[in-house]
Amino acid sequence: MLGAERAFCCAGCEAVARAIAAAGFEKYYEARSATGVRPEALPPPAIYDDPAAQREFVAAPLEHVREATLILDRIRCAACLWLNEQALRRVPGVLRADVNFATQRAQIAWDPRATRLSAILEAIRTVGYDAYPFDPRRSDALVRRERRRALWRLFVAGFGAMQVMMYAWPAYVDAGMGALTPDAAALMRWASLVITLPVILFSCGPFFSGAWQDARRRRISLDTPIALGLAAGFAASAWATVTGRGEVYFDSIAMLAFLLLGARTAEMFARHRAGRELEHLARWMPSFALRLRQGASERVAAHALAPGDLVRVGAGERVPADGEVTEGASSADESLLTGESRPVAKRAGAALVGGSVNLEQPLTMRVTRAGADTQAAAIGRLVERAAAMRPALVERADRLAQLLTYVVIATAALAWAASGNVWVAVAVLVATCPCALALASPIVLTRAGAQLLARGAALTRSRALEALEGATDVVLDKTGTLTQGKPAIARVVLLAAEDEERCRALAAALESSSTHPLARAFRSVGHGPTVRALRNVAGLGVEARIDDRLVRIGARRFCAQIAGARSVKPNAQVYLAEKGRWLAAFFIDDPLRPEAPAVVAGLQAVGLRVHLVSGDAPRIVGALARRLGIESWAGAATPQDKLGYVSRLQAEGRAVAMVGDGLNDAPVLARADASVAMGAGADAAQLQADLVLTADRLGALQDVLVIARRAMRLVRQNLGWALAYNAIALPAAALGWIGPWEAAIGMSASSFIVVLNALRPLAKKETWKSSTSSSPSRSLSYS
């Protein structure tokens, strides 16, 4: 008997089975484990513990932390998310678990010393869901299956509703005339019953199984009122048909099912669409790469690449991993990662970002990071994690939706008791739409994350959207934020009758191997003169022989040793001298980002107060602040001073958005209400900020604010609409003013409106990225 039960096993039975196993009867199941596998056999979770298998989907940000993305199956509504989160969080050793509605994925972090991935997957199966580690191909199959099943359910409900309506029509027309013989009327009723049966059993299956699963756990979900309404209506009608007494409303039931499923299907399409916007992050990486090994090339899977491999990237192809160019010269389009569409020149030694497109000439590259370690993968994980974490406003809405469900069921019971008419209760159960409260914000959040990324800003925590929207003050750091964070030669003063170009070339040649921070200012790609006997003198500079002359670059006293003591202009940072004479003095500066003035002006134009706080000398900071029109500024600020500055503003009741380079400002960023870090991809995963400007482009800040405001406005509109609708619909249905079919139309329309609203553009100008990225495959399949 137990064996037979297990053969028809649903998720619910499985949970029971597990409870039995936990009670100490697991020996029995051990013997039976071969029959326990469900038709769609999953690989035993234990294989996911294999480090080789984990390489694909598990990241290790810290030594004792592992992160992975799981695709969850059988998720239907916000209540499921809650349950999965709870189940995951209860596993000992799980550090974090967040579930994303739009992509049906869970972001989890765990301590490998305390638990294993297979144990975490088991925990999800225990509560009646399924999880697979994220793998894009698997997700596709999942989406297709969900789509087909939803359309099939919708079709059965829609077609059934039409047909039942035809059988009901004679009864409506005939009402009281007596032309319809009792036998014919009974025939119509039975025909209606036969057709409504699959509509209820098959099309409405998700409502019932959802409600049933929650009932078993003594909880109520958004499915519960709908399932109760449909069941009550169908049972009453079926009883009337069998006994031949009373009214039948099969037409209402079938149409109800059709409209509800219509709303649910629309929501599913919207969810897939929002998920796709994020999905294309995961597809930045091509599947295959041409690996060079001992002169021969072989085609391998991109994720099989390892650091150190040599890879050939043809013109027009995507770079399969992070790495650097070893051979060839070309340019690359890195817009997917940075939002910057201008091609970037690439020559030998230049860094290549996985997922960017090699535009002109074939390149040979050496892989530095592959697979899940690449920048693109890291950013994709960050953004996905952000979409999974909900802002406080949305968390409150979810709790409200839960509460509303109880109110609805209580009201329905009261209305039934008071009116004695089951149809009033059905109307109440169906009319209210707590779904709208829970549905639409995840879609908005996922889209906001994807659209921000397209503009070069990776949202790592969704709460930042709320905080950015409410920010009144923006505190900017100087170095690396307003300035480019990399030194450049501001001015060259020639001290001898030498050509400036030659002095620069000499300096570049000398500094080419130096690790001093200022040396970066001299780097150039061109070929300099040949250098011999290069010698680094720590803290002073570099000397070498060029064209048989001794040349030095570095501190003044270092150069003075060979140039003679003749006094020179004293306040440059770097000097160049050769035996017997001074050549040049270099003034090094960290140049202002070209877009900085416009960004500051733009922030001020939308009513934000802009502050400048920097560790640099007050004189420099003050000058910069005046130049940018910033009134409040502070110089010579230590990290503690910066923290104090932000805390003071917050004490005045201001909401502060802090923009910094993300490494030195970590404590301040953590203190601010919203934190933005400038970061060129590589560090994105380490930066402790809500939002990382991956393009290293300050201009993205304005887009970020626009999108944050717009996204939060959409969320608010949706919540407001859902609340208003329910406030009207609930009492109206309870008083019997609206019938079941009107209730169904109202509920469906409400869901539609919320979903459509969530799909409105978030920024004035939509980028074409998502469409262009998918067009190659489209044209291929077309031809």
Partner 1 sequence: MEILYLLVPLSVALVFLIGWVFWRALDGGQFDDLERPAHDVLMDDDK
**Which tokens go with 175?**
């009402």
> Which residue type does 197 have?
L
| Number of separate helices (H) and strands (E) present in the chain | 26, 27
Measured from the CB atom, the residue of 163 and 356 that comes closer to partner 1 is: 163
Nearest CA among 402, 449, 391 for reference residue 80: 402
**Which tokens go with 113?**
């010393």
Measured from the CB atom, the residue of 273 and 478 that comes closer to partner 1 is: 273
> How many Å separate Cα 409 from the centre of its chain?
35
Q: What minimum distance in Å lies between the beta carbon of 184 and partner 1?
A: 5
DSSP state of 520: G
> How many Å separate Cα 178 from the centre of its chain?
63
Q: What minimum distance in Å lies between the beta carbon of 713 and partner 1?
A: 28
Nearest CA among 640, 637, 639 for reference residue 625: 637
Q: What minimum distance in Å lies between the beta carbon of 147 and partner 1?
A: 7
Q: Rounded to an integer, what distance in angstroms lies between the CA atom of residue 94 and that of residue 65?
A: 9
Q: What minimum distance in Å lies between the beta carbon of 192 and partner 1?
A: 9
Contact by Cβ (8 Å): 425, 731: no
Contacts of 183 (CB under 8 A, 6+ apart): none
Residue owning tokens 């539609």: 752
Measured from the CB atom, the residue of 16 and 166 that comes closer to partner 1 is: 166
Q: What minimum distance in Å lies between the beta carbon of 187 and partner 1?
A: 5
Concatenated DSSP letters of 91-116 = STTEEEEEEETTTTEEEEEE-TTT--
Q: Rounded to an integer, what distance in angstroms lies between the CA atom of residue 506 and that of residue 542?
A: 11
The stretches of 694-768 forming alpha helices (DSSP H) are 700-734, 740-758
Q: What minimum distance in Å lies between the beta carbon of 167 and partner 1?
A: 7
Residue owning tokens 């699959």: 198
Measured from the CB atom, the residue of 148 and 648 that comes closer to partner 1 is: 148
Q: Spot the catalytic one: 214, 251, 473, 477.
A: 477
Measured from the CB atom, the residue of 8 and 782 that comes closer to partner 1 is: 782
The stretches of 58-217 forming alpha helices (DSSP H) are 78-89, 117-126, 136-174, 182-198, 205-216
Q: What minimum distance in Å lies between the beta carbon of 286 and partner 1?
A: 22
703 C-beta neighbours (distance < 10 Å), count = 22
Q: What minimum distance in Å lies between the beta carbon of 282 and partner 1?
A: 19
Contact by Cβ (8 Å): 130, 72: yes
Residue owning tokens 């009207």: 728
Measured from the CB atom, the residue of 686 and 773 that comes closer to partner 1 is: 773
Measured from the CB atom, the residue of 151 and 636 that comes closer to partner 1 is: 151
Contact by Cβ (8 Å): 512, 523: yes
* 251 is annotated as an active-site residue: no
Q: Rounded to an integer, what distance in angstroms lies between the CA atom of residue 692 and that of residue 713?
A: 22
Contact by Cβ (8 Å): 286, 318: yes
Q: What minimum distance in Å lies between the beta carbon of 160 and partner 1?
A: 7
Measured from the CB atom, the residue of 170 and 362 that comes closer to partner 1 is: 170
Q: What minimum distance in Å lies between the beta carbon of 164 and partner 1?
A: 9
Q: What minimum distance in Å lies between the beta carbon of 162 and partner 1?
A: 9
616 C-beta neighbours (distance < 10 Å), count = 18
Nearest CA among 607, 645, 612 for reference residue 626: 612
For the stretch 668-677, contacts whose Cβ atoms lie closer than 8 Å and that sit 24 or more positions apart, written own/partner, are 668/475, 668/639, 668/642, 668/643, 671/643, 671/646, 671/647, 672/475, 672/646, 673/467, 673/470, 673/471, 674/464, 674/467, 674/468, 674/471, 675/464, 676/701, 676/704
Measured from the CB atom, the residue of 160 and 660 that comes closer to partner 1 is: 160
Measured from the CB atom, the residue of 184 and 306 that comes closer to partner 1 is: 184
C-alpha atoms less than 13 angstroms from C-alpha of 189 in its C-beta half-sphere: 23
- Using CB under 8 A as the criterion, which residues of the chain lie in contact with partner 1 when the complex forms? 144, 147-148, 151-152, 155-156, 159-160, 163, 166-167, 181, 184, 187-188, 191, 194-195, 198, 778, 782-783
Measured from the CB atom, the residue of 195 and 476 that comes closer to partner 1 is: 195
Q: What minimum distance in Å lies between the beta carbon of 777 and partner 1?
A: 11
Nearest CA among 60, 62, 70, 63 for reference residue 91: 70
Contacts of 14 (CB under 8 A, 6+ apart): 125, 126, 128
Contact by Cβ (8 Å): 429, 408: yes
Kindly list the distances between the CA atom of residue 442 and the CA atoms of 261, 269, 435, 716, in Å, as whole numbers in the listed order. Answer: 20, 13, 12, 12
Measured from the CB atom, the residue of 161 and 509 that comes closer to partner 1 is: 161
DSSP state of 287: S
Positions marked active-site: 477
